Amino acid sequence: TRKVTTHRFIEMKQRGEKISMLTSYDFTTASIVDGAGIDGILIGDSASNVMAGNGTTLPITIDQMIYHAKSVVRGVSRALVVCDMPFGSYQVDRKEGIKNAIRIMKESGCDALKLEGGAEIIDTIKGILDAGIPVMGHLGLTPQSINKFGTYAVRAKDDAEANKLLSDAKLLSEAGCFALVLEKVPSVLATEVSKEIHIPTIGIGAGNGTDGQILVVDDMLGKTKGFNPRFLRRYADLNSIMTDAIGQYITDVKDCSFPNENESY
């Protein structure tokens, strides 16, 4: 089980082999996801929603991202590990972005970083790449800009936004990013972008024409409830499984059937 590299991601695109990715935020989950054979694991800033219960990704801090990333890195032996740079850690200027990128790499031990945006942050991305850090781009519905968008609806439905997305994708690819996440954009556009650039596109709500797919692990396992976009396929109903198991435990405690003699010293 050779460790997956950013180079391997690009080879997979060239070979036409689809890339599988999921998020993880903790050691135990990352061990399971990696053991199942996933190609890449993202420590998403969706940890803000899924782990901390915030309404958006904005409040999560660099320290909190490093805590999650370190935990994930300890559980992974094969997958490529990518960590989100959180809101505020790279938008101020190039220098601060590079400093924070280096800090996250050093302290977490992850393999690469992901930043949201195109032309607006291209100088910062180039500086991070120049420091020797692999960067994954992220275009389309970029949740750190939710307050600007004002809606979680599909992005780039009109020509102006679609053209900007395509030119941003080319910019990121030419700058040397190793992959690009496309979130919640029309399938036709995501397919076109995937054909136009040489680095792999990883889609979420972007249809079947991207070079890979990513989902939030708690969503696809059915642990979370009440988040039901059409792109989300639930592969398990962990919410019910956990609720039933916990209910059984409560019953056993109440009626004194747990612990039994074999479970006692």
Q: Which is nearer to ligand KIV, 110 or 181 (CB)?
A: 181
* CA gap 79, 36 in Å, rounded: 10
Residue from 9, 6, 44, 3 nearest 23 by CA: 44
The answer to whether the Cα torsion of 262, 263, 264, 265 is positive or negative is: positive
Neighbours of 184 (CB within 10 A): 20
Q: Report the distance separating Cα 4 and Cα 88, nearest Å.
A: 29
The token pair that represents 189 in the structure block: 């556009």
- Secondary-structure breakdown of the chain: helix, strand, coil percentages, each rounded to the nearest 5: 45, 15, 40
Q: Which of 82, 115, 214, 221 binds ligand KIV (CB under 6 A)?
A: 214
Q: Does 113 bind ligand KIV (CB under 6 A)?
A: no
> Is residue 84 near ligand KIV by the rule CB under 6 A?
yes
Asked if 211 is part of the footprint of ligand KIV (rule: CB under 6 A), the reply reads no
Give yes or no for residue 80 binding ligand KIV (CB under 6 A): no
Q: Determine which residue in the list 34, 39, 45, 218 makes contact with ligand KIV, applying CB under 6 A.
A: 45
Q: Closer CB to ligand KIV, residue 67 or residue 258?
A: 67
Residue 71 interacts with ligand KIV (CB under 6 A): yes or no: no
Instruction: Please count the helices (runs of H) and the strands (runs of E) in the chain.
Output: 11, 8
Determine if 45 is a binding residue for Na ion (CB under 5 A): yes
Q: Is 46 annotated as a binding residue?
A: yes
The yes or no reply on residue 44 touching Na ion (CB under 5 A) is yes
With respect to ligand KIV, which residue has the nearer C-beta, 193 or 214?
214
Which range, of 40-48, 99-107, 146-154, 188-196, touches ligand KIV by CB under 6 A? 40-48
Kindly indicate which of the ranges 44-52, 120-128, 190-198, 244-252 contains the residues binding ligand KIV, using the contact rule CB under 6 A.
44-52
**Binding status of residue 46 toward ligand KIV by CB under 6 A:** yes
Dihedral pair phi/psi, residue 260, rounded to 5°: -90, -170
Q: How far apart are the two ends of the chain, measured CA to CA in Å?
A: 41
Q: Which residues bind Na ion (CB under 5 A)?
A: 44-45, 84
Annotated binding site for 3-methyl-2-oxobutanoate: which residue ranges?
Answer: 45-46, 84, 114
